[in-house]
A = this chain, B = another copy of it.
Amino acid sequence: MSDFWYGGDYNPEQWPAEVWRDDVTLMNRAGVNLASVGIFSWARIEPRDGEFDFAWLDEVLDLLHAGGVRVDLATATASPPPWLAIAHPEMLPVTEQGVTLSSGSRQAYCPSSPVYRRYAARLVEAIVARYADHPALELWHVNNEYGCHVSHCYCDASAAAFRSWLERKYGSIEALNDAWGTAFWSQHYAGFDEILPPRAAPTFKNPTQLLDFDRFSSDELLECYRAEAAIIRRSSTVPITTNFMGFFKAADYWKWAQEVDIVSDDSYPDPADPYSSAYAAMQRDLMRSLGGGAPWLLMEQAPSAVNWRERNAAKLPGQMRAWSYQSIGRGADGILFFQWRQAVAGAEKFHSGMVPHGGTDTRVFREVEQLGAELRMLSGVEGLLGAPVPAQVAIVFDWDSWWAIEQPASPAAVSYIVDVFSWYRALAAAGATIDFVRPTDDLAGYRVVVVPSLFVASDEQLTALDAYAAGGGTLVVGYLTAVLDENLHVRTGGYLGLLRETLGVWIEEFAPPAAPDLAALGSGTPPVLTVSGDAIGGVAEATLWGEYVRITSATVDAVFEGGALDGHPAVTHHDRGAGTAWYVATQLDDAPLGTLLDGILTASAVDRLPRAAGVEFVRRGTHLVAINHSDAAVTLELLGTDILTGAPASGLSLAPQAVALIADA
């Protein structure tokens, strides 16, 4: 598109037809140019098995087209109608505990169900046949938020599909037995027909079975997507997407991103959470990275409050706009909302809409109008729409490691996302722009690559990381990296695999401090470790992790102090070929981690963004975006001009939630 997309989910079936005309009029007023239609319309389109009713949808699409609003048309398969589950209860999902999940909410289907897939395909075929050539069509929207509520199913159909998936992967049952380590606990399988999904069991399940079930479950959902996309592609050249959900554990979006024509994302930061702005920035950077740097689409955000938290805080005045510009700045070419008109019934009626319950004489609608007008203006500005976001720093992100490190029976209960976020936050605070990458991506263009807890790593991945360092890069490796190979077998001899050479260290033993619940006993060592060294700016505390690092050829930059780890290395670096490789053997709080990374960025000659307390900066194309997330006004001293106001960037005062788009001087 030659303009920024602007609009949202549009559910006309929830409203009488007379409202539809008002909707188009209001959309025009708000600057809306794209509407997502039909996402939950299966029961309306096919009210009975095989009976299709498209008349209403014809009318809606024609109305939108006449009003100049283009359409992101859904395949409507996200929520099967009640009649399907009544006729085929075997298509309902089953939990790990054996509980069948009924119709009556949404997404009540087993992703592996042949019945579901057959009915979904028939529906998609009918929709594509009807609308492939509709002039309003801008985008295909396959299903919706795959895996949101049912990502793993344990029914018999899933069991059969899992067995097939395993047979394709392993070829022979002995290969599976080796990979899964079934010599342990008498788990040896005589044939694939003995294998089940990891249903409720007496105690810890087989870790590799769990990991393969995570991989399988992501693949099964993706297979649903691929089947629908294939139907579409047979008749249409309009681009296809399905909406991602940020850092969503159940779907390995690296694989998914290869299948969509444009990455799109649903993003719901909590206005009440002080970390939300930074976390949302990280999510936007992932979306850009999934698409290899190409523009992406913010498919859903809330105009104000959502409805599914314990308390649903409203966005602050200006906050929706601020987070929208954050997306634009980080590579989005469109800003859509869930949803256009706030519902009056159903489970999401308290989710805010662009047209709220209170109508148009409201703060929310005024902010929607303002942003629409601004995006229309910005569509004509050179060097913004479609422009890239340059990054010299990358963080390795890996679904296998996420799945594996959060399994039970691990050295410590680690949250992968919390860990990755702590690295991201410190790098961003140091003025870096960050891409997410896989180890096997082309890393040569990055001056620094950070590897947080890459718990599971293949030889190929480790070789790539080592080559990056040897080639002149700066590699920063966090604790709990390369502990396991891709089958979750331990890399013996000091963990880290090949990175032992890269880093010049090996790990003798893990030694995390006591868990927080033990501190309640009121005696003994508090559950923290002390770390000290110039590299981290003095003395710091670490609460989650410690280990015995053995030096072969690295230099020690910080050590543990006190306790059993006293004097053992906590941070090291090592020259590797033309580059440098750092190892961080503990988790660090924001301040010491920031000090460490600031030094590393400087040593690696990474270009920095401006920095000001509470203000987010990001550069897109020829513009610098500045957003004040704090609750106090900030004055900037920069070169250039704010194209939103025409004001010079030198001495520019940004009120809370205010935004500046500063064109290069």
- List residues of chain A with CB under 8 Å of any chain B CB: 11, 13-14, 40-44, 47-48, 76, 78-83, 86, 93, 95, 97-108, 148-150, 180-190, 193-196, 198-209, 270, 272-275, 304-305, 307-314, 316-317, 342-350, 352, 356-359, 362-364, 408-413, 487-490, 492-495, 506-515, 517-518, 521, 523-525, 527, 544, 548, 564, 631
Contact B274 A317 (CB under 8 A): no
Within 8 Å CB of A207, what residues of B?
345-347, 349
Specify which of B93, B362, B513 is in contact with A508 (CB 8 Å cutoff).
B362
Q: Which residues of B contact A308 (CB under 8 A)?
A: 204, 408-409
Chain B neighbourhood of A548, CB < 8 A: 314, 363
Q: Which residues of chain B are near A348, meaning CB under 8 Å?
A: 184, 204, 409
Please tell me if the beta carbons of B357 and A490 are within 8 angstroms of each other in the complex: yes
Complex contact B495–A201 (CB within 8 A): no
Closest CB-CB distance, A478 to chain B, in whole Å? 17
By beta carbon, the residue of chain B nearest A271 is: B514
Instruction: Name the residue of chain B whose CB is nearest to the CB of A318.
Output: B564
B189–A312 touching, CB < 8 Å: no
The 8 closest A-B pairs by CB, nearest first: A181-B345, A274-B524, A184-B346, A272-B514, A149-B202, A204-B347, A43-B188, A79-B186
Q: Does A490 lie within 8 Å of B186, measured CB to CB?
A: no
Chain B hits for A525, CB < 8 A: 272, 274, 631
Closest chain B residue to A193 by CB distance?
A: B86
- Selected A-B contacts with CB under 8 Å, 7 pairs: A40-B186, A102-B196, A204-B347, A274-B523, A305-B511, A311-B515, A314-B564
Residues in chain B near residue A307, CB distance under 8 A = 409-411
Contact B190 A79 (CB under 8 A): no
Q: How far is the CA of A408 from the CA of B351 in the complex (A)?
A: 12
Cross-chain contact A101 with B201 (CB below 8 angstroms): yes
Query: Among B106, B352, B359, B527, which residue has its beta carbon within 8 angstroms of that of A185?
Result: B106
Chain B residue numbers with a CB within 8 Å of A309 are: 515
Smallest CB separation, A358 vs chain B (Å): 5
Whether A86 contacts B345 by the Cβ 8 Å rule is no
As for how many copies of this chain the complex holds, the number is: 3
Asked if A199 contacts B102 (CB within 8 A), the reply is: yes
- Contact B183 A13, beta carbon cutoff 8 Å: yes
B80 lies within 8 A of A186 (CB): yes
Say yes or no: B86 contacts A194, CB within 8 Å. Answer: yes
- Structural contact, B411 and A196, CB atoms closer than 8 A: no
Partner of A413, one of B108, B196, B311, B527: B311
6 further A-B pairs in the complex, CB-CB below 8 A; given A184-B346, A311-B412: A82-B194, A148-B203, A184-B345, A185-B347, A207-B345, A363-B509
A8 to chain B minimum Cβ distance, whole angstroms, is: 16
Q: Verify A512–B186 contact, CB threshold 8 A.
A: no
Complex Cα spacing A346 to B489, Å? 8
Chain B residue nearest to A305 (CB atoms) is B510
- Contact status of A107 and B202, CB under 8 A, knowing A194-B86, A348-B409, A412-B311: yes
Q: Which residues of B contact A275 (CB under 8 A)?
A: 521
**Which residues of the other chain, B, contact A11 by a CB distance below 8 angstroms?**
183-184
Question: With A186-B106, A188-B82, A508-B363 known to touch, is A344 a contact of B201 (CB < 8 Å)?
Answer: no
Are B346's CB and A312's CB within 8 A? no
- Considering the complex, give the chain B residue whose CB is closest to the CB of A307: B409
Known: A104-B201, A274-B521. A81 touches B186 (CB 8 A): yes
Minimum Cβ distance to chain B for residue A594 (Å): 15
Which of chain B's residues have a CB closer than 8 A to the CB of A352?
509
- Find out whether the CB atom of B205 lies under 8 angstroms from the CB atom of A104: yes
Residue of chain B at shortest CB distance from A276: B524
How many angstroms from the CA of A312 to the CA of B527 in the assembled complex? 12
Contact across chains for B358 and A272 when beta carbons are under 8 A apart: no
Complex: A489 Cα to B345 Cα, angstroms? 5
**Contact residue among B44, B103, B187, B314 (Cβ-Cβ distance under 8 Å from A509):** B314
Q: Are A202 and B93 in contact (CB under 8 A)?
A: yes
Report the bound CA distance from A195 to B47 in whole Å. Answer: 15
Q: How distant is A97 from chain B, measured CB to nearest CB, in Å?
A: 5
Q: List the B side residues contacting A86 at CB < 8 Å.
A: 193-194
A489/B187 in contact, CB under 8 A: no
Contact (Cβ within 8 A) B82 A358: no
Question: Would B82 and A181 count as touching, CB distance under 8 A?
Answer: no
Evaluate contact between B101 and A98: CB separation under 8 angstroms: no
Are A344 and B81 CB-contacts (below 8 A) given A358-B506, A512-B312? no
Indicate whether A81 sits within 8 Å of B188 (C-beta atoms), given known contacts A312-B411, A312-B510: yes
Contacts A105-B201, A108-B201, A186-B42; is A181 near B346 (CB within 8 Å)?
yes
Tell me the complex Cα distance, A148–B202, Å.
9
**Partner pick for A358 among B95, B274, B488, B493, CB 8 A cutoff:** B493
What is the CB-to-nearest-CB distance from A353 to chain B, in angstroms, rounded to a whole number? 11
Shortest A334–chain B CB gap in Å is: 25
CA distance A149 to B206 in the complex (A): 15
For residue A250, give the distance in angstroms from its CB to the closest CB of chain B: 13
Q: Would A345 and B180 count as touching, CB distance under 8 A?
A: yes
Bound complex: CA of A506 vs CA of B187, how far in Å? 57
Within 8 Å CB of A81, what residues of B?
Answer: 186-188, 190
Cβ contacts under 8 Å, A97 to chain B: 97, 99
Q: Is the beta-carbon distance between A508 and B187 smaller than 8 angstroms?
A: no
- Chain B residues lying within 8 Å of A198, measured Cβ to Cβ, are 102, 104
- Output the nearest chain B residue to A306 by Cβ-Cβ distance: B409
Give A493 to B182 CA distance when docked, in angstroms.
Answer: 60
